[in-house]
Amino acid sequence: MAAMTTPRVPIPTNGVDYRGKIVLAPMVRSGELPSRLLALHYGADLVWGPETIDRALIGTSRRVNPRNGIIEFTRGQGSIIYRIDPVREKGRLVFQIGTASPELAVEAAKIIAPDVSGIDVNSGCPKPFSTSGGMGAALLRTPDKLVSILIALVDEVGKPFQIGISVKIRILETPEETKALVTRLVKTGITGLTVHCRTTPMRPRERAIRDQLRMVADVCHEAGVACVMNGDVTSRNEGLELMKEYGADGAMIATSAEANSSCFRPEGSLLPWKDVVHAYLRTCMEVENRLGNTKYLLNMLVPSKEFQHSKSSKSYYDFCHALEFDDLVPAALQVDENMNLTHKSVFKNSAPIQKQEPEEVDLSLPSQSAQQAVAA
């Protein structure tokens, strides 16, 4: 008698299989380009970008920054909506879309599809800016609409662009409700489903509920769809252990990655905060990250007592000066000039400045386990 084989939805040519992966969760502000690149640097297998609303992407123009090769989707007078590193994120970036309309979802997804490996529909965000428009967790209450969005994306984006379509949900109040929803979703042609093990009213400080996880994984597996777990996963090693315990195919890290992205390291131990911050700041300068976003993440990465000197920083030179990263000063001066931040500096005259020519500044991150992730 032939052995039974588990069915699998085929992974499109330009798509990516979520199985066996430890990934960075989609997070507003914390999922911008530098955070994603740092997660990959430390060993994340895949990264999700922050939820981007369909209407925000529709009407944008695609351009390439001539200084660093970063792909930028812009609107109006250069307002940047989304950014991609076409080299380091190639084959490892999943774009998460916020939508409540099959038509708008398809229109937006077609714009970004050539540059990503997957489109993920957000149906788990509980925040009013998302749910008030019928998006995010509101879609859990309108399953017919959610199904129609997924089918439209699979047929009109996934197939022609040969990338995977997936969805991220939360558990519902009862296992029966969750099972009924997941059973419908896995029949739409999606390649992956991420389940956040919290209900919509729950907040991150409340402990994740994993009682329904194995059931969700089983339903996904019966349809050949990969199941990724999310909620209180703190490291790569813990994610791998939880995957075995509950039968999930992958694990997604959120809050822990905000605090220290070296949580993705296969070695299992966190690096000192200053090492991580040095690598993060260097990456921010390399991709010319918006200073406000850089400051927001530094506030999370740097211990509060140590961050006091950086609070008034208004340029990359200021951050390097306050954090005593003297080796990054030449690069900071060049980036400040490129981004028109030089005149805003509050510390520039507090220390001697030795400016180097741009070609002498090496901003590249040293190769680490991210290279192993590519081959995984």
Residues noted as catalytic: 125
Residue of 195, 263, 251, 247 lying closest to 22 (CA atoms):
251
Beta strands in the chain (DSSP E): 22-24, 46-48, 52-53, 61-64, 71-75, 79-84, 93-98, 118-123, 164-170, 192-196, 226-230, 250-253
Where helices occur in 175-315 by DSSP H, the ranges are 175-185, 213-223, 236-246, 255-259, 273-286, 291-301, 304-307
C-alpha 180: how far from chain center:
28
Neighbour tally for 216: CB within 10 Å:
28
Cα 15 from Cα 156, distance rounded (Å)? 15
| 227, two tokens | 């199941």
Amino acid identity of 283? T
Query: Which strand ranges, in their side-by-side order, compose the sheet holding 71-75?
Result: 61-64, 71-75, 79-84
Residue of 371, 370, 376 lying closest to 41 (CA atoms):
370
CB 360 within 8 A of CB 328: no
| 47, two tokens | 């990264």
C-alpha 222: how far from chain center:
28
| 160, two tokens | 């022609």
